[in-house]
């Protein structure tokens, strides 16, 4: 089956996530929900913010090729508007950050230091310092992650107290 490609601007860690999850070039058809959203953005382009806040895509310093099926290519086209590029990046960023929060909070709940939890996350999912620097991950966790080191210990203590006679 012949495949066509779209060059998709994104942040380095989004590119790495797409490479790890869908290969390079990214074949989004492996995830039906994500591919349906992508096809919708191809089909119904939104230009709402193209002249205003999304005039430039300067924060998207990297890019990755996304495979498009022949039928989708001829039916919907091969480009996204700037508004759709930003919207799809926000969706992907949410997925990546959910993966980050899930992994870091798991290790933090078992009293791992934040630095070690970040290193485990980067190693487990293949993010390098160039893709997503540890300092940036640390700032993201401090801003949005509300789990403390000994939460799992407190939870286990509470469960044990319930079973004591």
User: Tell me: the pLDDT tens digits for 69-127?
Assistant: 888 777 777 888 888 888 899 999 999 999 999 999 888 888 888 899 999 999 999 99
Domain range summary for the chain, segments of one domain joined by +: 3-144
Model confidence at 52: pLDDT above 80: no
Query: Is the pLDDT confidence value at 165 over 60?
Result: no
pLDDT value of residue 72 = 78
Mean pLDDT of the chain: 83
Q: For the residues of 137-160, what is the DSSP string, one character each?
A: HHHHHHHH----TTHHHHHHHHHH
Q: What is the pLDDT of residue 159?
A: 61
Q: How confident is the model at residue 1 (pLDDT cuts 50, 70, 90)?
A: very low
CB under 8 Å to 20, separation ≥6 — which residues? 125, 126
Please give the residue that has the higher pLDDT: either 96 or 51: 96
Residue 54 has phi, psi (to 5 degrees) of: -105, 30
Report the alpha-carbon distance of residue 43 to residue 68 in Å, rounded. Answer: 12
DSSP secondary structure letters along the chain: --EEEEEEEE-HHHHHHHHHHHTTTB-GGGSHHHHHHHHHHHHS---TTTTTTTS--TT--EEEEEEEEHHHHHHH-S---HHHHHHHHHHHHHHHHHHHHHHHHHHHHTT--HHHHHHHHHHHHT--TTTS-HHHHHHHHHHH----TTHHHHHHHHHHHHH--
* Beta pairing partners, 4: 68
């Amino acid at each position: 089956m012949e495949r066509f490609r779209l060059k998709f601007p994104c942040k380095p860690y989004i590119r790495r996530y797409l490479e790890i999850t869908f290969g390079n070039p990214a074949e989004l058809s492996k995830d039906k929900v994500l591919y349906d959203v992508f096809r919708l953005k191809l089909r119904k382009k939104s230009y709402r913010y193209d002249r205003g806040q999304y005039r430039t895509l300067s924060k998207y310093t990297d890019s990755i090729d996304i495979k498009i099926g022949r039928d989708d290519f001829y039916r919907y086209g091969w480009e996204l508007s700037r508004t759709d590029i930003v919207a799809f990046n926000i969706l992907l960023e949410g997925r990546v950050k959910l993966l980050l929060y899930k992994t870091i909070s798991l290790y933090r709940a078992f009293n791992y230091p934040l630095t070690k939890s970040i290193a485990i996350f980067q190693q487990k999912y293949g993010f390098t310092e160039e893709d997503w620097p540890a300092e940036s991950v640390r700032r993201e966790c401090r801003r949005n992650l509300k789990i403390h080191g000994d939460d799992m210990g407190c939870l286990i203590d509470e469960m044990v107290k319930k079973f004591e006679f």
